[in-house]
Amino acid sequence: MANVLASEDNIRIAILGGGGMGKTSTALHILHHSAVKARYGEVRYFVGCDSVTSGGALALLILQIIRHKIAPDENSSDVLCRALSSYPCILLLLDNFETVWNSESNRTDIRELLSKIVSLPKVSLIITARGDTPPSGVKWTRVDCLPPLSPESAKELFLHYGETGEYEDDHTLMTLLKELDYIPLAIHLIAQACFGFSLRYMLTLWRDKRTALLRTRGEGPDKLENIKVSISISLSSLDSTNNHQAVQLLAILCLLPDGLLRWEDRLLYIGSEI
């Protein structure tokens, strides 16, 4: 992805996946890649969309981040397009884009703003968002839905965040990582929780406490410090008003220890019976 951004203009990349899969980390790695830095210099901007709920608010936020002034009577979208057009090239990273995309009654405004941004020939765009479908209305250069880590990569991540030195049991470690489904955020949190404890004890504790174990100490919930917060954010993004069976279906699926085999054949039938 970094090589594509470094070689062409007007690139549109969507990095998708579930909570805790490393979307923001992947995007930041691309943003700070040496080839990307060489092409865009200092005009690489990170825009966190966590608290934005409209196209106008997003335009104002981007203007604030790129330090471009706007008069009280000006249209923020128009000013933003003029500002972005003044750069020889610019790269925007819109992180947690699902927050603004899923905001009630404002999707048309968001789609129009996004279309205006990507229509500018010297603007390249990266978004990160929960889910597996990118925002409509944009011809994406590349869409990547991040999978869980491989067992070896999961082990490497655990050792990076965990205690240095030898650990007592490779089999126990790999069992623990497998039960965490090789999800990066879960591995990061369990590695932090393991300080001072044996892996066998942590595996036993995990089987007893489950997600209650996956949080760091501190005040206030944060999706990067508490796996339950991350899960709740993912669930809240469901359109449960118009699809009230969605949460019920998820509750059924989570009881199946190995997931739903041949789900493409069976899921429609199960859904129709709810």
Residue 171 confidence (pLDDT) above 50: yes
pLDDT the model gives residue 41? 93
The 3-state secondary structure of the chain, one letter per residue: CHHHHHHCCCCEEEEEECCCCCHHHHHHHHHCCHHHHHHHCCCEEEEECCCCCCHHHHHHHHHHHCCCCCCCCCCHHHHHHHHHHCCCCEEEEEECCHHHHCCCCCHHHHHHHHHHHHHCCCEEEEEEEEECCCCCCCCCCEEEECCCCCHHHHHHHHHHHCCCCCCCCHHHHHHHHHHCCCCHHHHHHHHHHCCCCCHHHHHHHHHHHHHHHCECCCCCCCCCCEHHHHHHHHHHCCCCCCCCHHHHHHHHHCCCCCCCCCHHHHHHHHHHHC
Mind listing the pLDDT tens digit for each residue in 186-203?
A: 888 888 777 777 888 888
Mind listing the pLDDT tens digit for each residue in 110-149?
A: 999 999 999 999 999 999 998 888 998 899 999 999 999 9
pLDDT category at 79 given cuts 50, 70, 90 is very high
Average pLDDT, the chain: 83
pLDDT category at 236 given cuts 50, 70, 90 is low
Of the CATH numbers 3.40.50.300, 3.40.50.920, 3.30.420.40, 3.30.70.360, which one belongs to the domain with range 2-145? 3.40.50.300
Its pTM stands at 0.76
pLDDT the model gives residue 222? 52
Residue 232 confidence (pLDDT) above 70: no
